[in-house]
Amino acid sequence: MRNLIPVFGIEARLAMQRQAQYRGAAFISILGFLIEPIVYLIVWQTVTSQTGVIDGYGVTEFTSYYIVWTLVRVLKLALAPGS
């Protein structure tokens, strides 16, 4: 039984490394998921601040659109069958 104590320590260390790996991948995935709408929002805010209203859409409408779009993307992924 005493011979198994080092094995348990190694297993615990490996389990913690596996969990850290998956957390890192999840963090990168979430970061990438959130960066896309933020970049679009910044681009359209810059365009509308320079040119004014575009086809009736101003900064407020673009901001609302990208907030709703991000929420729909999150709900689509969270409620997708098989996830």
Question: Using one digit for the tens of pLDDT, what is the confidence trace for 33-51?
Answer: 888 888 988 998 898 888 8
Cβ neighbours, 10 Å, residue 44: 19
Is 60 exceeded by the pLDDT of residue 83?
no
27, containing H or E segment = helix 5-51
Inside any domain, residue 83: no
Q: What pLDDT, on the 0 to 100 scale, is given for residue 33? A: 82
What's the whole-model pTM score? 0.57
Number of domains in the chain: 1
Q: Which distant-in-sequence residues (6+ apart) come within 8 Å of 24 by Cβ? A: none
Question: For residue 52, what is the DSSP state?
Answer: -
Range of the domain at 57: 2-78
CB-CB contact of 48 with 57 (8 Å): yes
